[in-house]
Structure 1
Amino acid sequence: MRRLLRVVFLLVALGFGAWVVAGQWDAVRAGFARLSWWSAALSLVAVVAALGGGMMTWRALLADLGSPLPLRAGAKVFFVGQLGKYIPGSLWPVLAQMEMGRELGVPRARSATAFFLTLPVQLGSGLVLSGVTLLAASPGAAAPYAWAFLLVPVLAVAFEPRVVNAVIGFGLRRLGREPLERPLTRRGMIAALGWALLGWVAYGLHLAAIVHDLGASGPSAVVFSVGAFALSWCLGIMTFVVPAGAGVREVAMVAVLAPVLDRGTAIAAALCSRIVIVLGDLLCAGLAGLAARRAGDPRRDHTPGKAV
């Protein structure tokens, strides 16, 4: 039954992902026609690296909370679970990660805590990085989104482990659950922030590879791409009712890219970016699943308290 539910979950997630792509297929095809093969390949490689940074952010938080997972097993849980973001609703990824993590001995509450901590870490680091890079590359580009940067001081408080642990403890008490066995530490939070920043840089390189063929090149364009992607993605994260932020991120990206690309070209860049990310999600989930299977049964190989 568990295997059947996992297959159904994957089929539904893939179906919604295909629906997102098919809805704008003509525009997507036209956008890719303007890209060279090496730009598309470089963009995909950068996306895979960025997704790896996201996985390591989550894995660092989970390890700090007391459940270090081997790299292959952790990658499978994260990447396969993340396919749930293409299903309408915000809880599918965390539910999938909770169930897959439980097979590896990770308590459900700990999986949920790591998942929900990953969001503010990515949001805060993305807003900070986008503000710095956009100001450096094009000072006026970030002005229309000044309201979003007001969240930075609030999220900075969330990076303090004592505050985080107090909030988590309060939430678990309200839910009638046992407190976490191991509180979050400052070292774990710093490690998670470091991986998140590396992930944002890789995402920016992915966008830079696309806009290079569409008319924006040079060092300033690369710096601008890092900020533009991080800001548009953060705006998508704030929209929880849309599958994987579909539409919201693209609209924001078109607006943020206005200083360097005309509207039609910016739309092509946003749609191409969307498709490359979908392909990256599928590729990472498939590779992680194959790697975990090749390593054998992760439940048999997993040693609690030891990470690979």
Structure 2
Amino acid sequence: MTARAGSGTSTLRRLARVGFLLVALGFGAWVVVGQWDEIRAGFARLSWASLALSLVAVLAALCGGMMTWRALLADLGSPLPLRAGARVFFVGQLGKYIPGSLWPVIAQMEMGRELGVPRSRSAAAFFLTLPVQLGSGLVVSGVALLAALPGSVAPYAWVFLLIPVLAVAFEPRVINAVLGFGLRKLRREPLERPLTRRGMLTALGWALLGWIAYGLHLAVIVHDLGSSGFSAVLFSIGAFALSWCLGIMTFVVPAGAGVREVAMVAVLAPVLDQGSAIAAALCSRVVIILGDLLCAGLAGLAARRAEGSRKDHASGKAV
């Protein structure tokens, strides 16, 4: 009876996971199909080599985001193996294409629980990742834009007022106090291990590398659309980080859809004409969607192979 119940639960979890993936993929396709003519025109202006380089940079950036989250989760007491952590993070992140802000964390909580990670710890790592990405992204965008084209920062000066606030929030004592207060209000058990300064700095380091990789992916696209040189690379890093941060602040649309593109077109105005800026924003969106799908698929396959190897090893020992 217990075995049957366990098998039924496993089947339900598998079906729920498949349903989650199908819904996420549907919304991701909807984002692309809605602007297909403009996207196709933009891709027609890019070379295959540029698209390949841009995708490689996106994959590196997504891995940086995963390592940011994994560093925070490990510091809180749940170090996950690389393959298992990648599967939880990348598959869960597909939930950002579904309207609403909670789908990724719900998916990560459920998949993490199967690996022994308490739900509260998964939720804490997820919600800590957002301010780490936002704060590091604002720093990167401010420095890069000022270095490349100082006047381009002026229209967005109000955004950078958040940096001092986030700097205070990065202090582990502050974060631990806020987490403890929130868990008490939710009547949940407190976290077993507080966040440390070393863990926060490690997460920030990975986040910074991720932003640089994202900027390089945009720089490759911008190069084909008419703006090249070292200053264009710096500007692309700052422009992408700033537009992404504006998208992070918008939780009601799938993955900031539309908000990030509008912001990117505006930020790119000093280096590209409007048509080229729109093409850059839309092509960037599609390359990132493709990167999300590749990372989720590869991470899931790698984790499944690792699990199969462990089972084969265990059965060999039993024999």
- TM-score, normalised by the number of residues in structure 2: 0.93
Equivalent of residue 159 in structure 2, options 135, 148, 154: 148
Q: Is 1:99 matched with 2:123? A: no
Q: Residue 248 of structure 1 aligns with which residue? A: 259
Q: Conserved in 2, the CA contact under 8 Å of 1:157 and 1:163?
A: yes
Structure 1 residue 127 displacement after superposition: 0.2
Q: Conserved in 2, the CA contact under 8 Å of 1:73 and 1:298?
A: no
Structure 1 CA distance for aligned equivalents of residues 141 and 111 of structure 2: 33
Q: Residue 9 of structure 2 aligns with which residue? A: none
Equivalent of residue 66 in structure 1, options 77, 82, 99: 77
Structure 1 CA distance for aligned equivalents of residues 182 and 236 of structure 2: 38
Q: Residue 27 of structure 2 aligns with which residue? A: 16
Q: Which moved more, 1:136-145 or 1:114-123?
A: 136-145
Identity across the alignment (%): 86
Q: Conserved in 2, the CA contact under 8 Å of 1:101 and 1:108?
A: yes
Structure 1 CA distance for aligned equivalents of residues 129 and 92 of structure 2: 14
Q: Residue 306 of structure 1 aligns with which residue? A: none
For the residue of structure 1 that corresponds to 2:152, the secondary structure is coil
For the residue of structure 1 that corresponds to 2:303, the secondary structure is helix
Q: Is 1:194 matched with 2:205? A: yes
Structure 1 CA distance for aligned equivalents of residues 14 and 309 of structure 2: 15
Structure with the bigger RCO (C-alpha within 8 Å, sep 6+) is 1
Larger Rg computed on CA atoms: 2
1:13-162 equivalences in 2 (<5 Å)? 13-162=24-173
Superposed CA deviations along residues 216-258 of structure 1, whole A, max 9, x for unmatched, are 1010000000000000000000000010000000000000000
Structure 1 residue 106 displacement after superposition: 0.1
Q: Residue 293 of structure 1 aligns with which residue? A: 304
Q: Is 1:207 matched with 2:223? A: no
Structure 2 CA distance for aligned equivalents of residues 206 and 242 of structure 1: 23
Superposed CA deviations along residues 178-234 of structure 1, whole A, max 9, x for unmatched, are 110000000000000000000000000000000110001010000000000000000
Structure 1 residue 296 displacement after superposition: 1.2
Structure 1 CA distance for aligned equivalents of residues 229 and 278 of structure 2: 20
For the residue of structure 2 that corresponds to 1:190, the secondary structure is helix
Structure 2 CA distance for aligned equivalents of residues 297 and 47 of structure 1: 29
Structure 2 counterpart of 1:62, one-letter code: L
| Matched positions, count | 301
- 1:7/1:261 CA distance change after superposition, 3 Å: same
Q: Residue 278 of structure 2 aligns with which residue? A: 267
Q: Residue 288 of structure 2 aligns with which residue? A: 277
For the residue of structure 1 that corresponds to 2:301, the secondary structure is helix
Structure 1 CA distance for aligned equivalents of residues 61 and 309 of structure 2: 25
- In structure 1, list runs of 5 or more residues that go unmatched: 302-308
Structure 1 residue 17 displacement after superposition: 0.2
Structure 2 counterpart of 1:110, one-letter code: R
Q: CA RMSD in A?
A: 1.2
Structure 1 residue 142 displacement after superposition: 1.2
- In structure 2, list runs of 5 or more residues that go unmatched: 1-11, 313-319
Superposed CA deviations along residues 131-187 of structure 1, whole A, max 9, x for unmatched, are 000000000111111111010011001100000000000000001111100000000
Q: Conserved in 2, the CA contact under 8 Å of 1:103 and 1:299?
A: no
Structure 1 residue 297 displacement after superposition: 5.6
Structure 2 counterpart of 1:116, one-letter code: F
More helix by percentage: 2
Q: Residue 4 of structure 1 aligns with which residue? A: 15
- TM-score, normalised by the number of residues in structure 1: 0.96
Structure 2 counterpart of 1:118, one-letter code: T
Structure 1 CA distance for aligned equivalents of residues 301 and 176 of structure 2: 36
